[in-house]
Amino acid sequence: MTAGEATAADPSERHAPGPAAPPPTGRALRRLRAALLLGGLTAGLVVVSVVAAGVGAYTIPAGQVAASMLDAVGIRVAAPLPDRVAHTVLWDVRLPRVVLAVTVGAALGVAGAMMQGIFGNPLAEPGVIGVSSGAAVGAIVVIFTGATVLGHWTIIASSFVFGLATTLFVYVFARSRGRTEVVTLLLTGIAVNAIAGAAIGLMTNFSQDAEIQTITFWQLGSVATATWSKVAAIVPCLIAGMVVIPIYARRLDLLALGEGPARHLGVDVERMRLVLITALALLTSAAVAFAGIVAFIGLVVPHIVRMVTGPGHRVLLPASALGGGLLLLAADLLARTAAAPAEIPLGVVTAALGGPFFFYLLYRTRSKQGGWS
Amino acid sequence: MIPTLRRRARAAIAPLSRPPARPAPVAAGDPVVRAEGVTVRRGGRALLDGVDLTVRAGELVALVGPNGAGKSTLLGAVSGDLAAGPERGADGGAVRLFDRGLNEWTPPELALRRAVLPQEAAVSFPFSVAELVAMGRAPWAGLGDPAQDDEIVAAAMEGTGISHLADRRFPTLSGGERARVMLARVLAQDAQLLMLDEPTAALDIHHQELVLTIARTLAERGGAVIVVLHDLGLAAAYAHRVAILSEGRIAAQGPPAEVFTAPLLSAVYRHEVEVLPHPRTGIPLVVPLR
């Protein structure tokens, strides 16, 4: 018997013992992957939150963080609670920041996934197509003019109006025959970003020092000034933007076939477009209003999720929310610890991660289908 | 737990979303599509000029004619695409589906009754074949039994010969495979009225015959099928009736053996053709003079 025959006989032997379980079908496999992904992301989010809340200039052991958080919801554990100073640091400084980072990241992740679905275009992202800049112009106009018509809510309202207007403009401008061409969309983004950049530059030029600092904060992105009142303001926006997920996730799948076929399958495309664009403008604007321009979250996260579980929106949207929260939380942890005691702006960290990922996407698409046309 | 939550959520929004009325059975011979005087003008040119078309249950009607004669425009007008699309709707005439005006149907109601196969098959994201075909069942979500949905999807994939592709992603398929996936999706919609816009364009002979056999079978079982075709031989072999369009008007309509005549086709296509009966089957063969 030669070695060749021996190896040839091997596979049949391996199959022989026991009644083999039926091979998992594609759908069962996808469901398993989706469950693992959602579970894994949730677990990751909890773990990283606890770690991030402990790490910093005043280190609090993760066990104490967890004990204190459980204590807050009425569960007593054996682990020791943090002392008074640690408690203050944890609850007044770290946790608002952690929660704000997660909320902003979730909003951006889900907005990116929604935007890609509604544009039918895998490169649509609030930062890339200029919606974030548009919303930032809205925020900076308020800072520049010092308007306080709506109190605390002036900035978010103004950035929402500008963000919605920019989204609608890009949508109408870049779309033809129910689809957006990748090139047209990106070029529209370049133009919108240029105009927004000019407006921001102009206002920066005529600003006082204090205002310039605030404006720079908006352009580079940061969650450093988190407070519970900011968290309380953004969470309703996140919830309002995300309630549409269970209603429209399946219909977004149908939209991948094009507007005509989606309509033939019973989707009221016009209404869906209106609802989803409002939702994603709300999510993006809320994120920009409280954390400035944090680029690429909405591009990177949905792409990674699609690689794992496929493009179905019923998994993609919630997973993008969880993944966006996790990624932004990790990026913020990096931003404040990498060069401690100095802080790197959050937008710089996400751009440093997202830029190379964009290159990878370009490379992969080029080698697979010869690039985007 | 999740199914319970889902059921509760559905019950909570049920008063807001009245379920669409299920389609009533249609007796063979009843008119399913009735278009009268449909006129569509674009840029000062009449794409359709007073077209009348009736399609009855149990009938496969082929729309043929040269490029730009208005075949796809007519299909768009009776499917409602023209009225709903970004362009303006039809400029004149009326379309009734199942004895009700086209605009009186809501999109979900219409989706239970008519399915449309568009000319181009493009999908924005890399869905798997099984997922795409299952999208055809979307209009029936909440109306039927999910197990039955799975059966219908499996049957549609079996019928179009794509069962072995179930787990493949759409972008990895060949042109012919993509066309069959889209056809399977449309079949899975299980509608009484089927509109197919050039379903055979990307297919080889075997699959062309397969697709039209499926369409013909659906018609024989009481459905109504409108199909735009370029291949006059296929139209002659499978259609109960053909409508020959020429410059936005119907030049002739009737059984293929009656309307496929050499003088008419030569005039419509501006190319001399011969029409010969097939020596064995007697089906008219249309041969361009070469």
A contacts of B86 (beta carbons < 8 Å)? 177-178
B143: left (phi > 0), else alpha (psi -120 to 50), else beta? Answer: alpha
A contacts of B139 (beta carbons < 8 Å)? 265-266
Q: With an 8 Å Cβ cutoff, are A254 and B135 in contact?
A: yes
Residue of B nearest to A257 (CA): B123
The residue with greater pLDDT, A146 or A232, is A232
Whether residues B268 and B171 share a domain: the answer is no
Whether residues B124 and B238 share a domain: the answer is no
Domain end among B168, B190, B212: B190
The size of the A-B interface in CB pairs under 8 A is 90
Whether residues B184 and B200 share a domain: the answer is no
pLDDT tens for each residue of chain B, 290 residues long: 566 666 666 555 554 556 777 888 888 888 999 998 888 888 778 888 889 999 999 999 999 999 988 898 899 888 888 765 444 566 778 889 998 888 888 888 899 999 999 988 788 888 999 999 999 999 988 787 888 888 999 999 999 999 999 989 898 898 889 999 999 999 999 999 999 999 988 889 999 999 999 999 999 999 999 999 999 999 999 999 999 999 989 999 999 999 999 999 999 999 999 998 889 988 888 989 88
Domain membership flag for residue B17: no
Q: Distance between CA A279 and CA A101 in Å, rounded?
A: 19
Residue of A nearest to B86 (CA): A177
pLDDT digits (tens, 9 = 90+) for A93-120: 899 999 999 999 999 999 999 989 988 8
The CATH number of the domain holding residue A288 is 1.10.3470.10
Domain membership flag for residue A60: no
B contacts of A258 (beta carbons < 8 Å)? 118, 122, 124
Neighbour-count burial of A51, counting CB atoms closer than 10 A to its CB (0-12 exposed, 13-18 middle, 19+ buried): middle
Question: A336 is in which domain, residue-wise?
Answer: 79-363
ipTM of predicted complex = 0.86
Residue of B nearest to A177 (CA): B86
What per-residue confidence (pLDDT) applies to B260? Answer: 92
Whether residues B186 and B196 share a domain: the answer is no
Residue A197: CB partners within 8 Å, gap ≥ 6?
A133
Domain membership flag for residue B141: yes
Q: What angle do CA A292, A295, A300 make, to 5 degrees?
A: 145
**Into how many domains does chain B fold?**
2
Whether residues B285 and B198 share a domain: the answer is yes
Structure tokens at A213: 């600092």
Question: B153 is in which domain, residue-wise?
Answer: 119-190
Whether residues B91 and B199 share a domain: the answer is yes
Mutate to test the interface with A, among B125, B173, B189 (most CBs of A within 10 A): B125
Q: Distance between CA A58 and CA A48 in Å, rounded?
A: 17
Whether residues B231 and B256 share a domain: the answer is yes
Whether residues B97 and B133 share a domain: the answer is no
For the segment A236-241, the average pLDDT, to the nearest whole number, is 91
Reference A164, options A73, A278, A50, A57; nearest CA is: A278
For the segment A167-186, the average pLDDT, to the nearest whole number, is 76
Reference A153, options A238, A233, A235; nearest CA is: A233
The residue with greater pLDDT, A150 or A369, is A150
- With cut-offs at 50, 70 and 90, classify the pLDDT of residue A10: very low
Q: With an 8 Å Cβ cutoff, are B135 and A177 in contact?
A: no
What per-residue confidence (pLDDT) applies to A85? Answer: 86
pLDDT digits (tens, 9 = 90+) for A199-224: 988 888 888 887 787 788 778 888 88
Question: Given a cut of 60, is residue A230 above it in pLDDT?
Answer: yes
Whether residues B232 and B200 share a domain: the answer is yes
**Into how many domains does chain A fold?**
1
Q: With an 8 Å Cβ cutoff, are B136 and A257 in contact?
A: no
User: Coil, strand, or helix at residue A63?
Assistant: helix
Whether residues B68 and B139 share a domain: the answer is no
What per-residue confidence (pLDDT) applies to A6? Answer: 41
Domain membership flag for residue A9: no
Q: With an 8 Å Cβ cutoff, are A179 and B114 in contact?
A: no
How far does the CA of residue A282 sit from the closest CA of chain B (Å)? 23
Taking CA atoms, A12 is separated from A15, A24, A256, B266, in Å, by: 5, 20, 43, 64
Whether residues B75 and B123 share a domain: the answer is no
What per-residue confidence (pLDDT) applies to B129? Answer: 93
Domain membership flag for residue A24: no
Whether residues B135 and B265 share a domain: the answer is no
Q: At what angle do helices A95-119 and A153-174 cross, to 10 degrees?
A: 20
The CATH number of the domain holding residue B36 is 3.40.50.300
